[in-house]
Amino acid sequence: MIFWLNQAYASSFMPPQASEFAAGVDSLYKFLIITSFISCVLVIGGMIYFAMKYKRKTANDKTAYISHNAMLEFLWSFIPFVIFMIVFGWGFKIYYDMRKMPENAYEVHVVGQKWYWDFLYKSGRKTSGEFYVPVNEPVKLIISSRDVLHSVFVPSFRVKQDAVPGRYTALHFTATKEGTFQMFCTEYCGDGHSAMLAKVHVLSKEAYEEWLQNDPYKGLSVADIGKKVFDQKCVACHNMSTEKKIGPGLGGIFGHEVALADGTKVTADENYIRKSILDPASQIVAGFPNAMTPFQGQISEQELLGVIEYIKASK
């Protein structure tokens, strides 16, 4: 019966439990909710009951002399103290397990940047906006940021860790279910914060090892590679249309003149697009802030050429 209630609670009110930490975190959270509800009922209910029972009935009523009760005063202090210590010990155990990094875990570097996530694997593979891990294997994330504070949060895994510029932070988990789960940035990082998302794909160990060895752009044309990169790294700030977002719309821009913030104009050719990606501060478009992070060293030549071709092909 208790197991059924735990499962019903988790499925009704919480994201799916998909890591070894999830059940423990949910149990502690449920305990806090239940004890808080009981405390609320006792305090508010008792207050209403005594207010009704001992309310003044006539103008001549006098308050009866009430002596203190040492046992009652002890209990209403001791019982909350015991509950607090249980919660403290329970929470510390969960926290300790989360912070004790396992040996021989799969290590993945996670890098936050306005407004997308990069994932770098020991095999040399690199993905953006798509994160792949094996099921039932410990995974350690080594997290950093290229610009401002970000924060890795996977609700189904019940894990969260800030990405701090200039230093590394870490977290670990063991995914227990195959499937796809949502990852968020939970540290406000600017206009595109809400679009800074990623998908966590949990694969079988065999499928994960095979994925590590595969070419992510196998069978794709140069423009198709560019579309894939654009959808992962650029859509938070740009549209492939004339519609403006944080940055200018890029639809049909190739071959046309672009007005810059310094009053000059430049033709949007291959060199302009390349320079705008690698060193955006050198060519700020008029009417837009200098908000784009440079991609120098963050994007391969194959990906860069793909983005250029994708923009050239847009109408």
pTM over 0.85: no
How does pLDDT run along the chain (315 residues), one tens digit per residue?
444 445 544 555 788 898 999 999 999 999 999 999 999 999 999 999 988 888 877 777 777 777 788 888 898 889 999 999 999 999 999 999 999 988 888 889 999 988 889 898 887 788 888 899 999 999 999 999 988 999 999 999 999 999 999 889 999 999 999 999 999 999 998 888 988 999 999 999 999 988 888 777 777 788 888 888 888 888 888 888 878 888 888 888 888 888 888 888 888 888 888 888 888 888 888 888 888 888 887 787 778 878 888 888 876
Instruction: Return the half-sphere exposure (C-beta side, CA atoms, 13 A cut-off) of residue 260.
Output: 14
Phi-psi region of 219 (alpha: psi -120 to 50; beta: other; left: phi over 0): left
E-strand ranges in the chain read 106-113, 116-121, 126-128, 130-134, 138-145, 150-154, 159-163, 169-174, 179-185, 197-203, 257-259, 265-267
Number of Cβ atoms within 10 Å of the Cβ of 298: 17
Which domains does the chain carry? Answer: 2-47+71-99 (no CATH), 106-213 (2.60.40.420), 222-313 (1.10.760.10)
- C-alpha dihedral sign at 45, 47, 50, 54: negative
Which residue, 160, 65, 147, is CA-closest to 111?
147
Task: Quickly tell me which residue has 């050198």 as its tokens.
Answer: 282
The pLDDT of residue 14: 80
Q: What is the pLDDT of residues 210-251, one digit of tens each?
A: 888 877 777 778 888 888 888 888 888 888 887 888 888 888
Contacts of 160 by beta carbon, 8 Å cutoff, 6+ apart: 151, 152, 153, 154, 171, 186
Which residue, 237, 235, 215, is CA-closest to 300?
215
The pLDDT of residue 36: 92
Contacts of 107 by beta carbon, 8 Å cutoff, 6+ apart: 122, 139, 140, 141, 142
Strand-by-strand arrangement of the 169-174 sheet: 126-128, 116-121, 106-113, 138-145, 169-174
Structure tokens at 58: 């006539």
The pLDDT of residue 2: 44
Q: What type of residue is 12?
A: S
The pLDDT of residue 3: 47
Interatomic CA distance for residues 104 and 74, integer angstroms: 50
Interatomic CA distance for residues 315 and 301, integer angstroms: 24
Cα of 66 vs its chain's centroid, Å: 56
Interatomic CA distance for residues 281 and 273, integer angstroms: 13
